């Protein structure tokens, strides 16, 4: 039993480190993406030429996204185990945490890894030279997929916030941050992340930033809490 408990604690520490790495990789991906300097309101020709000019950046984005996608799933598994309870209500909320989180990261991964990587490797040069509409369509598709992913991410954020407030395993302010993030991520869907209306992009950015704050703060708090706990298992006889 002592070995099992110690192994579980070690796994949890790795999971909270994964949460920190998720935020770091995603922040790095955002910084790299800013250099592309394109918006969904640009013309097809400008988007096609811009993607072709920044093929290397697109490849870096796809590679960083591989890291953040895997790290989030590891973090999610530990967070789900931490928050799920024994009552019907907490089990239902725990399921929403898991399902919402998986759909959130899957759709972001399809956009940032699949489509962005495909454009960087094969389609950016073709689109610029032969068919700007192809690059334009794929570029806007990334916005649409990430917006849909964030709608499901709102389920993750709402359920996580409710469980944090109910369980007290994290500071209450983090629960409210998560619920606020869920509200923003849900409402942005009506603007499709900026494709339909510009308010969607604004709300999406706010919600996403709040979600990153929650993941980073919760990971640091839980990692510090586990690390600070003395390992007295070896002294028990």
**In whole angstroms, what is the distance from residue 120 CA to residue 106 CA?**
20
Mean pLDDT of the chain: 90
Residue 180 has pLDDT above 60, yes or no: yes
Give the per-residue pLDDT at 6: 52
pLDDT band for position 88 (cuts 50, 70, 90): confident
Q: Where are the alpha helices (DSSP H) in 35-131?
A: 44-53, 55-83, 88-109, 116-118, 124-129
Give the per-residue pLDDT at 226: 53
Structural contact between residues 119 and 58, judged by C-beta atoms closer than 8 angstroms: yes
Top pLDDT among 205 and 9 is at 205
What is the arithmetic mean of pLDDT over 88-102? 92
**In whole angstroms, what is the distance from residue 201 CA to residue 209 CA?**
12
Tens of pLDDT along 205-228? 999 999 999 999 999 999 998 544
pLDDT band for position 27 (cuts 50, 70, 90): very high
What is the arithmetic mean of pLDDT over 141-157? 96
**In whole angstroms, what is the distance from residue 126 CA to residue 138 CA?**
13
Question: Domain segments of the chain: what residues?
Answer: 2-228
Structural contact between residues 148 and 189, judged by C-beta atoms closer than 8 angstroms: yes
Say if residue 158 is exposed, middle or buried (CB neighbours under 10 Å; 0-12, 13-18, 19+).
buried
Tens of pLDDT along 28-56? 999 999 999 998 889 999 999 999 999 99
Least confident of 84-88, 105-109, 119-123, 160-164: 84-88
Return the percentage of the chain with pLDDT > 70, whole number.
92
Q: What is the CA radius of gyration of the chain?
A: 20
- C-alpha pair distances (Å), 225 with each of 132, 165, 167, 209: 52, 18, 16, 24
């Amino acid at each position: 039993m002592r070995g099992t408990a110690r192994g579980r604690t070690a796994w949890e520490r790795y999971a909270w480190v994964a949460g920190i790495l998720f935020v770091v990789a995603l922040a790095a991906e955002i910084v790299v993406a800013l250099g592309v300097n394109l918006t969904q309101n640009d013309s097809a020709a400008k988007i096609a030429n811009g993607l072709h000019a920044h093929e290397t950046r697109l490849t870096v984005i796809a590679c960083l996204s591989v890291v953040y996608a895997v790290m989030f799933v590891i973090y999610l598994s530990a967070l789900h185990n931490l928050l799920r309870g024994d009552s019907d209500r907490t089990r239902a909320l725990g399921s929403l945490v898991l399902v919402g989180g998986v759909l959130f990261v899957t759709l972001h991964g399809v956009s940032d890894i699949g489509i962005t990587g495909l454009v960087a490797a094969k389609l950016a040069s073709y689109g610029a030279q032969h068919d700007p509409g192809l690059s334009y369509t794929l570029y806007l598709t990334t916005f649409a997929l990430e917006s849909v992913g964030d709608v499901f991410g709102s389920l993750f954020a709402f359920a996580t916030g409710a469980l944090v407030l109910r369980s007290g395993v994290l500071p209450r302010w983090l629960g409210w941050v998560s619920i606020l993030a869920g509200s923003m991520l849900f409402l942005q869907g009506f603007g499709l992340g900026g494709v339909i209306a510009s308010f969607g992009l604004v709300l999406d950015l706010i919600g996403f930033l709040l979600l990153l704050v929650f993941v980073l703060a919760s990971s640091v708090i839980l990692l510090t809490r586990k690390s600070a706990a003395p390992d007295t298992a070896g002294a028990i006889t």
